[in-house]
Structure 1
Amino acid sequence: MRGLIAADQVLRIPLLPVLAAQGLAVRRNAQMLPEPTGPRTGRSGRGPRLRLLICGDSSAAGVGAGTQAQALSGHLVDQLAKHYSVEWRLEATTGHTTQDTLDRLKGVQGEFDAVVTALGVNDVTRAVTSRQFAQRQTQLITALSKDLKARRIVVTGVPQMNRFPALPYPLAWVLGRQAARLDQALQQVVFAHPHVRHLKLDLPDDPALAAPDGYHPSPRAYALWAEAAAQLLRQA
């Protein structure tokens, strides 16, 4: 028996001219922020050894911050370095989907104790279905666990795209509903893997938490994200 079709999926067809026009306008007016400068590997802290991998899309890469020290990687390493000797590596690129990250990690050598991922927005905009997303996230967890030997994985939830300041309605509503479906599928994937945790970011509606492009986190948002991810890694 087929499931019910969601309201946004039904309305997507009559709204298509509006959605297409809004999508073009967003792309035309978007402020293209660069990936931040700074090292993408390093060591920091004292204590038990922790080999950390951060991978994903532009948010994992830190777009919205000026340097990696202000981005997710910098804040996360600072948090974990209070308790561990952290050997860290960042593998992230603007525009990457889950499949892109899977392909990229095939060239990564070594083993990692802990991994933090950030993916989903580009899967939404590329019209990846919930089933496809779940399959690819399952493949990603398998690759991280078996090939890179990760024992602790924190999977960041798909962002609530309806709250992105850069997106107008109804485009924000349609993308937000699809993002919510992908995140629900992601939570089901995570539930099947005891060593994996789902990190749902539910940040307050504070303009200071958005980058100037209205699409990426600000350094303050990255700090909150890193704090939550570090707590989950330490609990694991």
Structure 2
Amino acid sequence: MSWYLSPLRPLAVRQGERTIGELDELPLPPDAPHGVVGAGGAGPRQYLVLVGDETVLGAGATSMADGLPGILARRLAALRDGEVSWQVVGEPGASSLRVHHRLVPMLPAHSDVAVLVVGMHDLLARHSVAEWRGEMAAVLDLLARKAGRVVVCGCPPMGRAPLLRWPLSASLAADARRLDAVTRELCAQRDIGFVSLQEMDTTPEDFAADRLHPGDAGLRRRAEAVAVLL
């Protein structure tokens, strides 16, 4: 229950504003946000797109190959015994609003698989459940028209990020559970895959140097969970 956090919410908001204001931006990997893996397989070529915030761009990863795009492309190539062409459309700081109106329209007209990663900046901006529901419903409807299979990563486990202290960590964790409940419902209505990151085992070693974003270990853990739904 999160009722006991209500009187502490203003303190958590101020704490969050101060923490994020002092946060250094993680560098992005130098390799290109697109590629091809699995050449020579017997199956047909698959097209994979990832859309969302800086996590899909590899912030916190050593390279794109070690981030979500590379890991998921290799897993998809192995599952389908074919070549996978992958592309990332992301933007640092993107919220569901930005994904809806700017990033999803930039995606190709059709892909075999689309993976959505969003939520961190909606949480940090303290967007309401109603705002989240409206934007996510629109995003999922657009993605369903652009991809044969859609998988959504739930909100990141910011309540366990080493950078964040109580009560901010507890407040963000409670908000993430509320947003995830909405996302799970919307995905179920559309036969879209949903991966809860709140239920995933998470350790301090899963985080990047900024102690907020996922690092290589955390990205591998997330990619394995998403790959099950491909």
State the distance in 1 between where 2:104 and 2:2 align. 34
CA distance in 2 between counterparts of 1:112 and 1:213 reads 33
Q: How many residues align?
A: 223
Q: What is the identity, as a one-letter code, of the residue corresponding to 2:225?
A: A
Q: Are 1:200 and 2:196 counterparts? A: yes
1: CA distance between counterparts of 2:130 and 2:182? 7
Note the aligned Cα RMSD (angstroms).
1.9
Residues in 1 aligned to 2:14 and 2:132: alpha-carbon distance in whole angstroms:
26
Question: 1:227 Cα shift?
Answer: 1.8
**Partners in 2 of 1:50 and 1:134 — Cα distance?**
30
Amino acid at match of 2:118: L
Aligned to 1:105: 104
Residue of structure 2 equivalent to 1:80: 76
- Which of the residues 159, 178, 184 maps onto 1:181? 178
TM-score of the two chains, using structure 2 as the length reference: 0.89
**Corresponding position of 1:42:** 35
Q: Per-residue displacement from partner, 1:69-115 (whole Å, max 9, x unpaired)?
A: 11111111121122331111101111001111112222333311111
Is 1:171–2:168 an aligned residue pair? yes
Task: Specify whether residues 28 and 109 from structure 1 end up closer, same or farther in structure 2 by C-alpha distance, changes over 3 A only.
Answer: closer
Residues 95 and 122 in structure 1, CA contact (< 8 A), matched pair in contact too: yes
Distance 1:24 1:173 in 2: 15
Percent of matched pairs sharing the same residue: 26
Relative distance call for 1:132 and 1:65 in structure 2 (3 A) is same
Q: CA deviation at 1:20?
A: 4.6
Task: Check the 8 A contact 2:45/2:85 in 1, yes or no.
Answer: yes
1:209 maps to 206
Q: What secondary structure sits across from 1:36 in the alignment?
A: coil
Deviations 1:105-135 (A, max 9, x none): 2233331111111111111112221122122
Matched residue, 1:65: 61
Q: Which runs of 4+ in 1 moved over 4 A?
A: none
Letter in 2 for 1:58: E
TM-score in terms of structure 1 length: 0.87
SS of aligned partner of 2:229: helix
2:126 is the alignment partner of 1:152:
no
Cα distance in 2 for partners of 1:107, 1:31 equals: 28
Could you tell me which runs of 5 or more consecutive residues in structure 1 were left unpaired when the two chains were aligned.
Answer: none
Is 1:56 the counterpart of 2:52 in the alignment? yes
Q: Any stretches of 5+ residues in structure 2 without a counterpart?
A: none
Aligned residue type for 2:15: Q
Call closer, same or farther: CA 1:185–1:34 in 2, change over 3 Å.
Answer: same
Partner of 1:130: 129
User: Aligned equivalents of 2:14 and 2:97: distance in 1?
Assistant: 28
User: SS at 2:174's partner residue?
Assistant: helix
Letter of the structure 1 residue corresponding to residue 90 of structure 2: A
Closer, same or farther: CA 160–48 of 1 in aligned 2, 3 Å: same
